[in-house]
Amino acid sequence: MTQSVKDDLQPPPLTRKIKLVEADDPTDKTIGIDDSERTAIMNLLDLGALDDVEFVYRLRRGGGRRIHLSGRLRASVVQTCVVTLDPVPATIDVPVEAEFWPPEKIAALQEQVDDPAQTGGMDWPEPIEGDAIDLGPLIYETLATSLDPYPKRPGALFDWAEGQLDERMPQNGPFAALRSLKNS
C-alpha cells in the first residue's frame, strides 16, 4: 500500500479558523492559546516555557476577495542557552502583515512566476479556505521565526582556544597518533 506525503504530515499545532465576515468589522481582535496548544508548541520549538501569548489583529478587505491582515504577536518564552544550557528568558513582540487570497488567484500568480528564485523572498499569500482563513499557522510560524536561533545567557562565552583541550585529551587511543602529527 502506498502512503501519500499528506499522510506523513503532522496537523498544525495551532488552528484558528476566522470567518471572512470579520473583515467587515474594523476593530482589533485578540487570539490566545490553550494549555494543549502551548504544550505542543513548546515541544515543537524546544522551549522551556511559553507564556502570555497574545495575537492582536485586524482584517481589511481588498479587491478580488483578498483579505489583508495587520497584527502584532507578543509572547514570553524561555529558551536554552547554547553555551551553558541555562534557561534564557526572552520577550517576543513583532508586527505581522499577511495577505489571504482565493486559491485560484494564488495559482494564477504562481503561473506568472517563471523562476521562484526571482521573487526576491516575496511572502506568498495564504489561501482562503471557503469562507474562512486559518490564522493558527501564521501565529505559529511567526513565533518560530522570531525566536533567537542561538540563544545565549548574558555573559556566557564560548571560548575554544587552541591547545586548551590538548591537556584533557587522552594520551593514548586512536587520536593520539594524529595529535603527534599535529605537534610536529
- φ/ψ of 101, rounded to 5, equals -125, 155
Give tens-digit pLDDT for 129-160: 999 999 999 999 999 999 999 999 998 887 76
C-alpha cell at 39: 504544550
pTM score of the predicted model: 0.77
Q: How confident is the model at residue 90 (pLDDT cuts 50, 70, 90)?
A: very high
Contact 58, 43 (CB under 8 A): no
Alpha-carbon gap, residue 17 to 129, rounded angstroms: 9
**How many CA atoms lie less than 13 Å away from 76 in the CB half-sphere?**
5
Alpha-carbon gap, residue 66 to 132, rounded angstroms: 12
Could you tell me if residue 155 is left (phi over 0), alpha (psi between -120 and 50 degrees) or otherwise beta? left
C-alpha cell at 88: 534564557
Evaluate if residue 163 carries a pLDDT over 60: no
Element housing 30 (H / E): strand 29-31
